[in-house]
Amino acid sequence: MELAVFLLFAVSALVSSAVVVAHRNPVHSTLALVVTLISTAGLFVLLGSPFLAALQVLLYTGAILVLFLFVIMLLNIQRERTSMARSPLQTWGALVAAFVLAGAVCRLLWDAHGDDVVGPLDPSFASLRGISEVLFSTYLL
Protein backbone atom coordinates (compact mmCIF):
# COMPACT_ATOMS: atom_id res chain seq x y z
CA MET A 1 0.00 0.00 0.00
CA GLU A 2 2.84 2.38 0.86
CA LEU A 3 4.46 1.73 -2.52
CA ALA A 4 1.22 2.58 -4.33
CA VAL A 5 0.87 5.87 -2.43
CA PHE A 6 4.54 6.68 -3.10
CA LEU A 7 4.09 6.02 -6.82
CA LEU A 8 0.95 8.17 -6.85
CA PHE A 9 2.77 11.12 -5.25
CA ALA A 10 5.94 10.63 -7.32
CA VAL A 11 4.16 10.40 -10.68
CA SER A 12 1.93 13.31 -9.74
CA ALA A 13 4.97 15.44 -8.85
CA LEU A 14 6.79 14.52 -12.07
CA VAL A 15 3.83 15.10 -14.38
CA SER A 16 2.79 18.36 -12.75
CA SER A 17 6.37 19.67 -12.79
CA ALA A 18 6.52 18.92 -16.51
CA VAL A 19 3.27 20.86 -16.93
CA VAL A 20 4.82 23.80 -15.02
CA VAL A 21 7.65 24.01 -17.53
CA ALA A 22 5.70 23.19 -20.69
CA HIS A 23 2.49 25.19 -20.28
CA ARG A 24 2.33 28.64 -21.85
CA ASN A 25 -0.38 30.05 -19.58
CA PRO A 26 1.22 31.34 -16.34
CA VAL A 27 -1.91 30.75 -14.26
CA HIS A 28 -2.05 27.10 -15.31
CA SER A 29 1.67 26.75 -14.63
CA THR A 30 1.23 28.16 -11.14
CA LEU A 31 -1.66 25.80 -10.42
CA ALA A 32 0.46 22.88 -11.62
CA LEU A 33 3.19 24.09 -9.26
CA VAL A 34 0.64 23.86 -6.42
CA VAL A 35 0.06 20.21 -7.33
CA THR A 36 3.82 19.63 -7.45
CA LEU A 37 4.36 21.11 -4.00
CA ILE A 38 1.46 19.19 -2.46
CA SER A 39 2.80 15.96 -3.97
CA THR A 40 6.21 16.75 -2.53
CA ALA A 41 4.59 17.31 0.87
CA GLY A 42 2.99 13.88 0.54
CA LEU A 43 6.42 12.40 -0.13
CA PHE A 44 7.72 14.13 3.01
CA VAL A 45 4.93 12.48 5.01
CA LEU A 46 5.86 9.09 3.57
CA LEU A 47 9.48 9.70 4.57
CA GLY A 48 8.36 10.23 8.16
CA SER A 49 8.70 14.01 8.35
CA PRO A 50 5.26 15.53 8.85
CA PHE A 51 6.80 18.81 10.07
CA LEU A 52 8.50 19.42 6.72
CA ALA A 53 5.28 18.47 4.93
CA ALA A 54 3.33 21.00 6.98
CA LEU A 55 5.93 23.68 6.29
CA GLN A 56 5.81 22.85 2.59
CA VAL A 57 2.05 23.22 2.43
CA LEU A 58 1.77 26.28 4.68
CA LEU A 59 4.72 28.32 3.44
CA TYR A 60 5.11 27.48 -0.21
CA THR A 61 1.68 26.34 -1.28
CA GLY A 62 -0.28 28.57 1.05
CA ALA A 63 1.71 31.79 1.00
CA ILE A 64 4.24 32.01 -1.81
CA LEU A 65 2.05 30.60 -4.58
CA VAL A 66 -0.90 32.73 -3.55
CA LEU A 67 1.44 35.70 -3.97
CA PHE A 68 2.51 34.36 -7.40
CA LEU A 69 -1.12 34.05 -8.50
CA PHE A 70 -1.88 37.54 -7.21
CA VAL A 71 0.99 39.07 -9.18
CA ILE A 72 0.11 37.12 -12.34
CA MET A 73 -3.54 38.17 -12.14
CA LEU A 74 -2.56 41.76 -11.32
CA LEU A 75 -0.26 42.03 -14.34
CA ASN A 76 -2.99 40.70 -16.67
CA ILE A 77 -0.53 39.10 -19.07
CA GLN A 78 -1.96 38.58 -22.55
CA ARG A 79 -0.70 35.75 -24.69
CA GLU A 80 0.92 36.75 -27.96
CA ARG A 81 -0.60 35.34 -31.12
CA THR A 82 2.59 35.28 -33.16
CA SER A 83 3.93 32.10 -34.64
CA MET A 84 7.64 31.55 -34.35
CA ALA A 85 9.33 29.57 -37.08
CA ARG A 86 12.19 27.40 -35.90
CA SER A 87 15.42 27.47 -37.76
CA PRO A 88 17.22 24.22 -38.64
CA LEU A 89 20.14 25.35 -36.48
CA GLN A 90 17.85 25.58 -33.45
CA THR A 91 16.48 22.09 -34.10
CA TRP A 92 19.95 20.57 -34.46
CA GLY A 93 21.14 22.41 -31.37
CA ALA A 94 18.26 21.01 -29.35
CA LEU A 95 19.01 17.48 -30.60
CA VAL A 96 22.70 17.78 -29.74
CA ALA A 97 21.85 19.14 -26.28
CA ALA A 98 19.41 16.27 -25.70
CA PHE A 99 22.01 13.67 -26.67
CA VAL A 100 24.66 15.30 -24.46
CA LEU A 101 22.23 15.35 -21.54
CA ALA A 102 21.23 11.73 -22.14
CA GLY A 103 24.90 10.75 -22.29
CA ALA A 104 25.65 12.55 -19.04
CA VAL A 105 22.73 10.84 -17.30
CA CYS A 106 23.82 7.44 -18.64
CA ARG A 107 27.36 8.10 -17.42
CA LEU A 108 26.13 9.03 -13.96
CA LEU A 109 23.97 5.92 -13.77
CA TRP A 110 26.82 3.76 -15.03
CA ASP A 111 29.25 5.10 -12.40
CA ALA A 112 26.75 4.89 -9.53
CA HIS A 113 27.55 2.14 -7.09
CA GLY A 114 24.84 0.35 -5.17
CA ASP A 115 27.06 -0.37 -2.15
CA ASP A 116 27.29 3.28 -1.07
CA VAL A 117 23.98 3.12 0.78
CA VAL A 118 23.61 5.22 3.92
CA GLY A 119 22.58 3.33 7.03
CA PRO A 120 19.24 3.77 8.76
CA LEU A 121 18.57 7.16 10.31
CA ASP A 122 17.58 7.78 13.88
CA PRO A 123 13.76 8.11 14.04
CA SER A 124 14.08 11.34 16.03
CA PHE A 125 16.09 12.92 13.21
CA ALA A 126 13.02 13.98 11.21
CA SER A 127 11.07 15.17 14.23
CA LEU A 128 10.66 18.80 15.20
CA ARG A 129 12.92 18.30 18.21
CA GLY A 130 15.68 16.69 16.11
CA ILE A 131 15.55 19.40 13.45
CA SER A 132 15.64 22.21 16.01
CA GLU A 133 18.53 20.66 17.96
CA VAL A 134 20.67 20.33 14.84
CA LEU A 135 19.62 23.72 13.49
CA PHE A 136 20.35 25.66 16.68
CA SER A 137 23.49 23.79 17.78
CA THR A 138 25.52 22.46 14.86
CA TYR A 139 24.47 24.85 12.09
CA LEU A 140 23.98 28.02 14.14
CA LEU A 141 25.92 30.92 12.62
- pLDDT by 10s per residue, the chain, length 141: 889 999 999 999 999 999 999 988 888 898 999 999 999 999 999 988 888 899 999 998 888 888 888 888 888 776 666 666 778 888 899 999 999 999 999 988 888 766 666 677 777 777 788 888 888 888 876
Q: What is the structure's pLDDT at 96?
A: 95
The predicted pLDDT at position 116 comes to 63
Kindly report the number of other CB atoms within 10 A of residue 103's CB atom: 10
The Cα–Cα gap between 19 and 31 comes to 10
DSSP-based three-state secondary structure for 63: helix
Nearest alpha-carbon partner for 45 in 4, 6, 3, 1: 6
Q: Which domains does the chain have, with CATH numbers?
A: 1-78 (1.20.120.1200)
pTM: 0.66
